[in-house]
Amino acid sequence: MKIIHTEKISRIYKMGSETIHALESIDIDINKGEYVAFMGPSGSGKSTLMNIIGCLDTPTAGTYILHNKNVSDMTENELAEIRNREIGFVFQTFNLLPRASAMDNVALPLVYAGYGKEAREEKAFDALDSVGLGDRTSHKPNELSGGQRQRVAIARALVNNPSIILADEPTGNLDSKTSYDIMDLFQELHDKGNTIIMVTHEDDIAHYAHRIVRLKDGLVESDEINDKVNNKIGRSISTSN
């Protein structure tokens, strides 16, 4: 089942007198349950494409269909609703509220979705428990390791049962061992049927994905199935990282 379809997507930015073509005529389809990595050097357009797919930005031209809805020309309010309902975000810098507990950070999207307090806490606990942090619900970010903070961010991305999980350099602030633990977690999420789209500049991290899309100068340079998936599943979830 096709969940994402873009047709001749372009994105142009005006920087004073300069015109920057961040994306040029991007055609891409992503099916439900796929695990896709966007790769490319700085300025290739991978983050711009991620922002459009995540409804954080809109294309200058072209069409973007998400779950059979044309989101190309939606209003800001409509895009915000789509983001909250359809998309779970995982960022390099975690983007957690520093004074809020893990529970409250994970429950935040549910506030905007209109859930009551009891339902929020139940769903947030289940999400934290699914990433190995059921015993860390009251901890604040400064009481958690980098890997644990990223697990909280992943739980927050999962709590609304989104159509897709978008991960922007999810291991960028982590050491190598913790990075691989987090990527094992993403593999487990994919095995459960989640659709995952990841931006990374690290080749070994990209090879956890089952499909790698390489961008260069705002164009798709290659779009290939990864026949050498870096699957290190086998370790149990470690809550110490």
Instruction: Note the pLDDT tens digit of each residue in 200-228.
Output: 988 989 999 999 999 999 999 999 999 88
Q: What is the CATH number of the domain that holds 148?
A: 3.40.50.300
**In a domain? residue 199:** yes
d(CA 200, CA 209): 11
Full domain range(s) for residue 153: 2-225
Residue 65 CB neighbour total at 10 angstroms? 16
Residue at 198 is within a domain: yes
Query: Residue 163 domain-assigned?
Result: yes
What is the total count of domains within the chain?
A: 1
pTM (predicted TM-score)? 0.88
Residues of the chain with pLDDT under 70: 232-241
In a domain, residue 182? The reply is yes
Q: Tens digits of per-residue pLDDT, 64-96?
A: 999 899 998 888 899 988 998 889 999 888 899
Q: What gap in Å lies between CA 144 and CA 139, rounded to an integer?
A: 7
Look at residue 207 and tell me if it is in a domain: yes
